[in-house]
Amino acid sequence: MKPEDNDRIKAKKYLGQHFLIDKNIAEKIADSLLYQGNVLEIGPGMGILTAFLLKREHVNLAVIEIDGESVDYLHKYFPDLRVIQEDFLKFDLSVIFQGQFAIIGNFPYNISAPILFRLLAYRRYIPEFTGMLQKEVAERIAQQPGSKEYGILSVLLQTFYEAKYLFTVNETVFNPPPKVKSGVIRLTRKEDFNLDCDEKLYFNVVKTAFNQRRKTLRNSLKGFEKSRLIDSDILRKRPEQLPFEVFIEITKQISN
Ligand code: SAH
């Protein structure tokens, strides 16, 4: 069925709705997904990405969308699609499929960070996460230690995933256009994604270090009971200089 013009949804700002209108770019994003098997699309909106995902072989697709108007639209134009009308940030993702699934989307930028923290929490289920975010966030995730943009999400995501920045997308291919450029990334889970230190403490150490990123670790990590056990070489450093392996080392040093 061809969408009728008066069916088109007026974007809701509070839901971060910026609908992609360029089909070539939608196809390019869909083609960036390497995983074959179960796939969950977050925020399909009017389904511009969805249409390309449905054409792919070896993809068993479900979509999760919070907006009732978008859900009605999807039911009308994609009658066979499995649509879950829920908040991605609240829904228990483990019940959608049996086993593992990849995530894809042109994500709502107003909740990028919470989406990425959710990925971290559910990483056991999620071997790949591919899609579009604000360019700045996409770049930050893939950034190596030593750069100003390297931060909490870079460290935490790189602990478990290989991050690859794929391409940049201009404001002009959205309706309404966002204020910023967009970037498409692919995160591929590492073969060994177990953390061999106290996970809660690890997340806490990384967050604490970056919350005072201009201080040396000697100052920012003072509050941890056993911080005196950390190597003095490490204590002289600032968080943005350190790869995730060093944060694991720190966590081990203060947890025994
Ligand atoms: N993928 C579409 C829409 C992108 S806009 C396209 O490329 O055109 C972001 C989409 O995420 C919107 O459809 C919005 O309703 C949806 N969304 C926003 N917050 C959400 C949430 N918490 N859970 C699920 N979907 C959400």
| Ligand 1 atom with the shortest distance to the CA of 43 | 11
In contact, 163 and 185? CB cutoff 8 Å: yes
Taking CA atoms only, the protein residue closest to ligand 1 atom 15 is 67
Report the alpha-carbon angle 124-125-131, nearest 5: 110
C-alpha of residue 27 to centroid of ligand 1, in Å: 17
pLDDT digits (tens, 9 = 90+) for 45-100: 999 999 999 999 999 999 999 999 999 999 999 999 999 999 999 999 999 999 99
Domain that holds residue 155: 5-189
Say if residue 166 is in the same domain as residue 69.
yes
pLDDT above 70 covers a percentage of the chain that reads: 99
| Ligand 1 atom with the shortest distance to the CA of 45 | 13
pLDDT band at 39 (very low <50, low <70, confident <90, very high): very high
Mean pLDDT, residues 115-119 taken together: 98
Q: Of 132, 158, 189, which residue sits at a domain end?
A: 189
Q: What is the pLDDT of residue 244?
A: 97
Say if residue 98 is in the same domain as residue 204.
no
Q: What is the pLDDT of residue 3?
A: 74
C-alpha of residue 17 to centroid of ligand 1, in Å: 6
Q: What is the pLDDT of residue 5?
A: 74
Cα 103 off chain centre by? 9
Q: What distance in Å separates the CA atoms of residue 196 and residue 186, rounded to the nearest whole number?
A: 25
Q: What distance in Å separates the CA atoms of residue 205 and residue 203, rounded to the nearest whole number?
A: 6
Q: What is the pLDDT of residue 1?
A: 63
Q: What distance in Å separates the CA atoms of residue 193 and residue 187, rounded to the nearest whole number?
A: 13
In contact, 132 and 184? CB cutoff 8 Å: yes
Q: What residues line ligand 1, using a CB cutoff of 6 Å?
A: 15-20, 42-45, 48-49, 64-67, 70, 87-89, 106, 108, 111
* pTM, full prediction: 0.95
Taking CA atoms only, the protein residue closest to ligand 1 atom 11 is 43
Average pLDDT of the chain, as a whole number? 96
What is the number of structural domains in the chain? 2
The CATH number covering residue 220 comes to 1.10.8.100
Q: What is the pLDDT of residue 103?
A: 98
Strands of 160-251, DSSP E: 161-169, 174-175, 182-189
Q: Of 133, 166, 189, which residue sits at a domain end?
A: 189
Q: What is the pLDDT of residue 66?
A: 98
Q: What is the pLDDT of residue 114?
A: 98
